[in-house]
Every structure is written in C-alpha cells, then in structure tokens.
Structure 1
C-alpha cells in the first residue's frame, strides 16, 4: 500500500488547500467589514454632532447614540467571525487605533475650542478609514 501521492495528486491537494484558505479568509473578512462600517458611521455621525451642536448635553446624547452601535457591531462580529487569523487581528487593531485617535482627538479639540473644524476632519477620517481598512481585510 503506497500512500505517497503522485506529483499530480500533490498539486491537486495543494490547490484544494489554497482554495480552502482563500474561502476561509473571505468568510472571516465580511463580519470585520461590517464592524468597520457600522462603527465608523456611528462614531463619525457623533463627531459631526459634536462639531455642530453647542449644548453639551445634546452632544453627549448624540455621541452616546453613535457609541450604542458598538454593541450590535461587536456581537455580529464575534458571532459570525469564523476564525481569528493574524492578519484580520492586525487589521482590526490598527483600525481601532486610528478610530480611537481620531475620535478622542475630535472630541478633545472641540472641548477646548468649540469653533474649530477638527471634529469634522476627524469624522472624515473615520468615514475614510472604514473602506480603506475593509479593502485591506478583504485582500486575499
């Protein structure tokens, strides 16, 4: 009984393994893309509200509404993500760093000087970060 595959069989097995890896990466990426878009949209709307509204209570309410999207987005991601690959984890951590820096920078700048356009720029950064990091997550 010979269990050593022929060169043709070995090529077929390698092709099947590569196809399985590609499919797994793609399946893992879509929940991550959903997370990117939902959180970026919610937080950027909150930042625009911070830039437009002068009443602190209303700012906090709208900001809280934007942050409320964090829970369903994380639930979808944690339930639907099939695997935790190193690549998707690195993309997620980098995206989170960009989001946190942009969000905190926009909110803090508005609290020190209410008439600056920094919250709008930060909202734009968050809005652009979602498709950029989504494309990185979907890259094979």
Structure 2
C-alpha cells in the first residue's frame, strides 16, 4: 500500500512538472546595446580636451600629443584605444602613472593597487571612467 502511494505521488509530481513546462512560454529576447563605442576622432577629441585642462610640462604634453595623431594611421581596436588613453593619463598625472604601472606588472598580492581615488566625482569623467575600466580589466 505504501509503495503504491509513493508511486502515485511521484507520478503526480512528474505530471505537474511536465504540465508546467508545457505551459511555459519562452520569450525570445534581443538585446541592443544602449551605447556605441566612440570612434577614434571622438576619443582623440575627449583626450585632448582633458589634456588642455591639465597642468603638465611641455615635454610631457608633447609626448601625450604624439600618441594621438590627427589622422588615425591604422584601424585599432577598443582595447588598444583604452591602453593609449591611460598611457596619456599616466604621462600627465602621477596617480594615474602609479596605477598604470601597478597594472602592468604581475600581481604579487595580497591586495590590489588602491584605486579608490577614482571614486572622486571631481575628477573629469573621461579620466575617471577610462582609468576605472582599465583597472577593472586588469582585475
């Protein structure tokens, strides 16, 4: 008797699961990105605008400008554009230089480099956001 009751319970459970799965409607979702990667010219303009607002020695400014020729010589990917942007920041800013240097060596732990200073809303967005993205990629 107990065996029959157990079999009936299992059978009923299987039927319930089957009926639930038959009634489930699967929605086909398509995701469109809400943003687009800016092209080289837009990124260059943002970086050079940021550079104009910083106080940096003329030799460092020239080195930073050399990274961003007016005409893109070749097609480069998003990762290389990010690397070029943070290299520019590292030339002009000591904290950015320290963070980029820490991200360019093998991690020796136990703590990751301090990047909490990038939470400062007073920092220009192009500077703060790109360095945070670079740091997140390194993590």
TM-score (norm 2): 0.29
Instruction: Pick the structure with more helix per residue.
Output: 1
Greater relative contact order: 1 or 2 (C-alpha under 8 angstroms, separation 6 or more)?
A: 1
TM-score (norm 1): 0.29
